[in-house]
Structure 1
Amino acid sequence: MSQKVVKQSITPLPYPVTFICRYPERWAELFSSEVSISDPEHINHRFVNAEDCWIIQTYLRLKQNNYNVFLSDRFIPGEICIVSSLDLKIKDLSFSSFVVGCRADGPKPTLCNFAIVQNETCVESQTDAFVPHWPQPGLIRRNQTRGTRIENIVFKGSELNLYEPFKSSEFLQKLENLGVRLQVSGKTKELVVSWNDYSDADLVLAVRDLTEKDALVKPASKLVNAWMAGVPALLGPEPAFRQLRQSELDYIEIKTPNDVINAIRHLKEEPERYEKMIANGFNRAKDFTVERIAEQWQEILTGPVAQRYHEWRLKPKISHLTDFVFKAIQQKKARSEAVYHRKHGYRIISGQHT
């Protein structure tokens, strides 16, 4: 396993922070040594779920900067504990800890004392803070020798999430007529998914017919990774993408297969625009580097989280329990609503109500 020694000491966080790993058997080596830590850039294939991406990777990134962060498989009473909200259960009885929940693609984490969210629309109160996802670890940029050629359009994700019309034989034939083929990088039992490899990608496609409510919790990762990889993106009308859009060079918004065909034709006819989109993407990506995301984590942990934690410590312990009981009731409601809204509501691509 590739490892990297932590960097020189910097100003510590005002309070120690413990990241909670609910599946320690998957990361046993992190519990066995404090001398050196794994570099996320070298183990990108291991980041596959919410805990890996939000908890393990954040712990490793901050530990690399020698912040006073720790990893545990259980909540530490009286301390700040950060956990994936998808893995936080009522039965954990976590009321003795100040819990910061990382909200992935799931319900509002009402059990938490503070929430880190991946979409700005989920910031609903002073106990919510937006932090972008870390960029894809070990990202391999598009091969520059490909120039302005457009031959491969890639969908990074499960084929189940790709809107049906984009899987039709008619669409695939139209792509072929333009000398383009669609590559779907999804999970299979036989192959390791190369989420990080954009070397042969000429365009990124991301279009999902989500419900309006479900779309509000999704991150802008596909756009940010495309920027960093130097690959122009064709994206559906998701809020996270629109929040970042500053110009027409950021990405091309599409809804239908014909939108994609037209976009490809225009880019082939205007190779200078294709080049401008790549250059613009590299410039936009500067706001989403590992260093910048680490700074945002530091700002939140030293600012609002530390302040709320200080206030929480001043409260009588019995209030922690009574608050937890109320939050447990709200959590059950939030989970039910999230499940419902994922399946029912206005669909952002088809315009249908399900």
Structure 2
Amino acid sequence: MQSEQLETKFTALPYPVTFVCRYWEKWSDLLSNDTQLPDPNTIPERIVTNEECWIIMTYLHLKRRNLNVYLSNKFVQGSICVASALDFGIKQKTFSSFVVGCRSDGPRPALCDIAIVQNQANIKSSTDIFIPHWPQPGLIKRDSARGNHITNVVFKGSELNLYEAFRSPEFVRELENLGACLQINGINTDKLLQWHDYSEADLVLAVRDLTEKDALVKPASKLINAWIAGVPALLGPEPAFQQLRQSHLDYIEIKTPESALSAIRRLMTDPSLYEQMLINGQKRALEFSTEQIALRWHKVLSTQVASSYSNWCKRSSINKIANFAVRAVNQKLAVRDADYHRIHGYRPISNKWT
């Protein structure tokens, strides 16, 4: 097992860490038994929500490496608690805990003592720490026997997150004229579990019509998963993708169906380019393996979080409550700001202001 191979690389954390699972009913088996924990890669169908991706999966990966981490359905007073920032709020009155909030693509988590962000553009202070998203659990790589052949252009995710022009009959027809087809593995179909299955994918397609502000909170998951899966990607101009880009072989940036079709024709007529992207992706994937992400979490919890927690423990209860009151106001402002910019702003893909 992978966890057994990695045990020697991890020392105990300076302080115990509790991962808080608010929606614990689905995970009662983990709360009642922490000695026989499942490998996240064996239960991809159970890991869907934000809390499951950031809290459950992180807990499982670290606990299986024998670290002193624990799972609870409530915040533990006086302890380091890691929680999904989208799944708790002011009502939880978390001032008695040192809170590490996983921001995901939500508003700036002002209630947290430390924020884990998935996009480097969200680092605004020393309390914001970038950790990439975990790889898709249970990911099945592309069948190498498919070679450089391009037939299946795949989008994995909610269908509404694929810009409508790429779902149009015209685009589908043009793909068919090239001998290819579009496969959408969306949440509105019976193929949800195929989010982790890239065995028959030849190209990954992902273009969202986001506002510029909203794009700043999105992760690079589709690119990283494509690298790990061994599938070249055609992606929209999102900051998270651009931050990781080191060469033209990392992915092909597109904005329109025409640019996507042009890229597909180029890859079809130049199999060597397709092969180069495959080889390059294999190298880049090593930077974002489960092992590497686990090491990042271990380092962050052992250094920045431990140091900040030590200082937090020295503060008085009155100081913590007063600080929470200020944060509560800032949290309301952050939520309002995020809600506004998710809807209003310039959208580079459609070239519209909304």
TM range (shorter): over 0.9
Gaps spanning 5+ residues in structure 2: where?
none
Describe the superposition over 1:40-68 as per-residue Cα deviations: whole angstroms up to 9, x where unpaired. 01001111111000000000000011110
Describe the superposition over 1:126-169 as per-residue Cα deviations: whole angstroms up to 9, x where unpaired. 10100000111111111111111100000011111111111111
Please give the secondary structure, in 2, of the residue aligned with 1:136. coil
- Specify the alignment match of 1:44 in structure 2: 44
User: How many Å apart are 1:188 and its aligned residue?
Assistant: 2.5
Q: Deviation above 6 Å: which 4+ runs of structure 1?
A: 4-7
CA contact (8 A) 2:4 2:65 kept: no
- Specify the alignment match of 2:278 in structure 1: 278
- Specify the alignment match of 1:257 in structure 2: 257
CA distance in 2, matches of 1:334, 1:95: 18
- Specify the alignment match of 2:135 in structure 1: 135
Establish whether residue 178 from structure 1 lines up as the match of residue 189 from structure 2. Answer: no
User: How many Å apart are 1:190 and its aligned residue?
Assistant: 4.0
Please give the secondary structure, in 2, of the residue aligned with 1:195. helix
Describe the superposition over 1:230-259 as per-residue Cα deviations: whole angstroms up to 9, x where unpaired. 100000000000000000000000000000
User: How many Å apart are 1:105 and its aligned residue?
Assistant: 1.3
- Specify the alignment match of 2:226 in structure 1: 226
Please give the secondary structure, in 1, of the residue aligned with 2:347. coil
Structure 1's 6 and 321: CA in aligned 2 closer, same or farther, altered over 3 A? farther
User: How many Å apart are 1:33 and its aligned residue?
Assistant: 1.1
User: How many Å apart are 1:193 and its aligned residue?
Assistant: 3.0
Structure 1's 232 and 191: CA in aligned 2 closer, same or farther, altered over 3 A? closer
The TM-score, its normalising length taken from structure 1, stands at 0.97
Please give the secondary structure, in 2, of the residue aligned with 1:188. coil
Query: Aligned partner of 1:201: which letter?
Result: A
CA contact (8 A) 2:159 2:188 kept: no
- Specify the alignment match of 1:60 in structure 2: 60
- Specify the alignment match of 1:238 in structure 2: 238
Task: Give me the identity figure in percent.
Answer: 57
Query: Aligned partner of 2:323: which letter?
Result: D
Please give the secondary structure, in 1, of the residue aligned with 2:195. coil
CA contact (8 A) 1:6 1:66 kept: no
- Specify the alignment match of 1:206 in structure 2: 206
User: How many Å apart are 1:170 and its aligned residue?
Assistant: 1.0
CA distance in 1, matches of 2:36, 2:5: 6
Describe the superposition over 1:308-342 as per-residue Cα deviations: whole angstroms up to 9, x where unpaired. 11111111111100000100011011011111100
CA distance in 2, matches of 1:309, 1:274: 48
Listed as ranges, the matches of 1:47-196 within 5 Å are 47-188=47-188, 190-196=190-196
CA distance in 1, matches of 2:277, 2:191: 31
Please give the secondary structure, in 1, of the residue aligned with 2:99. strand
CA contact (8 A) 2:158 2:188 kept: no
Establish whether residue 291 from structure 1 lines up as the match of residue 296 from structure 2. Answer: no
CA distance in 2, matches of 1:193, 1:35: 27
Gaps spanning 5+ residues in structure 1: where?
none
User: How many Å apart are 1:219 and its aligned residue?
Assistant: 0.2
- Specify the alignment match of 2:331 in structure 1: 331
Please give the secondary structure, in 1, of the residue aligned with 2:193. coil
CA distance in 1, matches of 2:55, 2:131: 13
User: How many Å apart are 1:5 and its aligned residue?
Assistant: 8.1
CA contact (8 A) 2:186 2:192 kept: no
What do you get for the CA RMSD once the two structures are aligned?
Answer: 1.6
CA distance in 2, matches of 1:305, 1:233: 35
